[in-house]
Amino acid sequence: MSEHRDTLEDLNKHAPLREKIISAHKSLRKTFPFIDRISIAIYDPDTKILKTYLHSSDNKNPLPNYQTSIDNAPSLKQLLEKGLPRVINNLLTFEDGQREHTRRIGRSGYAASYTLPMFNNGEFFGFIFFNSYEKDVFTEKALQQIDIYGHIISLTVINELSSISTLAAAVKTTGSITHARDPETGSHLDRMSRYSRLIASSLADKYNLDDDYIEHIFMFSPLHDIGKIAIPDHILLKPGKLDDHETAIMKTHAHKGYKMINEILDNFGLKNIQYIDVLRNIVKSHHETINGNGYPSGIKDGDIPLEARIIAVADIFDALTSSRPYKKAWSNDEAIQTLKQMAGDTLDEDCVNALIDNIEKIKHIQKLFKQNYN
Ligand code: C2E
Ligand code: SIN
Ligand code: SIN
Ligand code: FE
Ligand code: FE
């Protein structure tokens, strides 16, 4: 009897998605050494934005933090509409392409690519790109095997993404939260999660942030206030200013949320989701302030995790520009003035600048997700 080692055994383990993709790439390279890079882009159907999410390159990533509207990538749009993969066996003919990603791919020396759209129950959710430095490598025979890997990778990605939606569903069910009770409407969460992603993307170069970190900030940010489930209605929904006692109770939402997240992760066996500490930090620390006067812990400056500093700016900007049971909506200009005053004292200055330097994108997000009055 001979022993065979399962070349994909790493997929059985509890490991971050990125490590699994790297393992799949290694295994694939044993048969097809010419595959130099696998990358994954995720599609957001609400904004029609396609965003690089993960890549397996051993060396530099030619396309960090790349994002585009699907309407600006006509050939990719065609792929998803037809549901068919695309083989380009000589990318060098694309080298002087007009579009950003073609130019970047060309510059980094890739000669051939294979692009596979990913679908879950018929619903498009992204692309897998296989890139090679050699041309004419994606032959029909090779593609038959590469396709199998592509589908395994696609299932691995959807598994991770659906753990996150299980988590979101679990959160909604816990304490039977309903929008009727929640003063933070769905559109607040739609906007603040996109402001958070906007801030993180703008800081990516300076702070050396990975695409998958940024994408997880986007996915986790709507859960920042889950602790409000535990706050009684007469405080949460009070149509006026809170008194000191009520404020103290209200402030417990950050720590209560943190405890709830830990319980949910335990109960649903979700502790191995990648970047789960990013979620914990967002829920626990989104009301900490740079000067150390925030809550629940009073930590300051760089001791506050970056994701919490980002969420704080996104949350406050949207709270100011929205109406609440206790206040009217402010204009963008008024809110920006206030953020500027808070920068460096309570809010992180880089995060504030990253948001307010992008007023056109802010307005676009506001247009897509108008406040729904309930
Ligand atoms: P929220 O409505 O999501 O507000 C998030 C944060 O945005 C607030 O954190 C605060 O930093 C900022 N913010 C919101 N509205 C205003 C405003 O009118 N002026 C200024 N300067 N900042 C504002 P904070 O203060 O820790 O409050 C946490 C949560 O407590 C709020 O979440 C809200 O649910 C509740 N809350 C705060 N103040 C009141 C109030 O006067 N009445 C009621 N009913 N709820 C309040
Ligand atoms: C990528 O490889 O990350 C996306 C670029 C492309 O091949 O279109
Ligand atoms: C496409 O991939 O959509 C066409 C080529 C490009 O956008 O660079
Ligand atoms: Fe909060
Ligand atoms: Fe909020």
Query: Over the stretch 107-144, which tens digit does the pLDDT of each residue have?
Result: 567 888 899 999 988 889 899 999 999 989 999 999 98
Cα separation, 214 vs 191, in Å, equals 16
CA distance readout (Å), 30 to 33, 58, 105, 111, 146: 6, 15, 24, 20, 12
Pairing of strands 86-88, 67-69: unpaired
Flag whether the pTM goes above 0.85. Answer: no
Element (H, E) at 201: helix 186-207
Task: Find the distance separating the first CA and the last CA of the chain, reported in whole Å.
Answer: 69
CA-nearest residue, atom 3 of ligand 2: 39
Q: Is 56 in the pocket of ligand 2 (CB under 6 A)?
A: no
pLDDT of amino acid 173: 60
Q: Which residues lie at CB < 5 A from ion ligand 5?
A: 225, 315
Q: Is the pLDDT of residue 334 over 60?
A: yes
Q: Which atom of ligand 3 is nearest to the CA of 101?
A: 8
pLDDT of amino acid 252: 97
Burial class, 304, CB count within 10 angstroms (exposed 0-12 / middle 13-18 / buried 19+) = buried
User: CA torsion 331→323→312→189, rounded to 10°?
Assistant: -110
Q: Is 109 in the pocket of ligand 3 (CB under 6 A)?
A: no
Burial class, 165, CB count within 10 angstroms (exposed 0-12 / middle 13-18 / buried 19+) = exposed
Q: Is the pLDDT of residue 61 over 50?
A: yes
Q: How many residues does the chain have?
A: 374
Q: Cβ(73)–Cβ(62) under 8 Å?
A: no
Tell me which ligand sits closest to the C-alpha of residue 94.
3
Instruction: Pinpoint the residues of the chain covered by CATH 1.10.3210.10.
Output: 182-368
| Residue 348 DSSP one-character state | -
Å from CA of 237 to ligand 1 middle: 12
Q: Is the pLDDT of residue 97 over 60?
A: no
CA-nearest residue, atom 7 of ligand 1: 316
Q: Cβ(285)–Cβ(310) under 8 Å?
A: no
Q: Is 101 in the pocket of ligand 2 (CB under 6 A)?
A: yes
Q: What is the mean pLDDT of residues 149-162?
A: 86
Higher pLDDT, 2 or 340: 340
Half-sphere exposure of 69 (CA within 13 A, CB side): 6
SS (H, E, C) 289-316: CCCCCCCCCCCCHHHCCHHHHHHHHHHH
Q: Which residues lie at CB < 5 A from ion ligand 4?
A: 225
Q: 177-207: string of b/e by CB count within 10 Å (b at 16+)?
A: eeeeebbbbebbbbbbbbbbbbbbbbbbeee
Q: Cβ(285)–Cβ(308) under 8 Å?
A: yes
CA-nearest residue, atom 4 of ligand 2: 129
Element (H, E) at 203: helix 186-207
Cα separation, 279 vs 221, in Å, equals 8
pLDDT in tens, 270-316: 777 778 899 999 999 999 999 999 999 999 999 999 999 999 999 99
The rounded Cα 121 to chain-centroid distance in angstroms is: 22
Q: Is the pLDDT of residue 176 over 50?
A: no
CATH architecture of 9-160: 2-Layer Sandwich (3.30)
Q: Cβ(173)–Cβ(228) under 8 Å?
A: no
Q: Is 44 helix (H, G, I), strand (E, B) or coil?
A: strand
pLDDT of amino acid 107: 58
* Domain 182-368 in CATH 1.20.1250.20: no
E strands, the chain, where? 37-44, 49-55, 67-69, 86-88, 112-120, 123-132
Q: Is 175 in the pocket of ligand 3 (CB under 6 A)?
A: no
Q: Is 200 in the pocket of ligand 3 (CB under 6 A)?
A: no
pLDDT in tens, 223-254: 898 888 888 889 988 889 999 999 999 999 99
Q: For the sheet with 86-88, list strands across it.
A: 67-69, 49-55, 37-44, 123-132, 112-120, 86-88
Q: What is the mean pLDDT of residues 152-163?
A: 85
Pairing of strands 86-88, 37-44: unpaired
Q: What is the mean pLDDT of residues 35-52?
A: 86
Q: Is 91 in the pocket of ligand 3 (CB under 6 A)?
A: no
Q: What percent of the chain has pLDDT over 70?
A: 84
Instruction: Pinpoint the residues of the chain covered by CATH 3.30.450.40.
Output: 9-160
Q: Is the pLDDT of residue 259 over 50?
A: yes
User: CA torsion 125→261→201→55, rounded to 10°?
Assistant: -50
Lowest mean pLDDT among 33-37, 53-57, 186-190, 329-333: 53-57
pLDDT of amino acid 4: 73
Q: Is 102 in the pocket of ligand 3 (CB under 6 A)?
A: yes
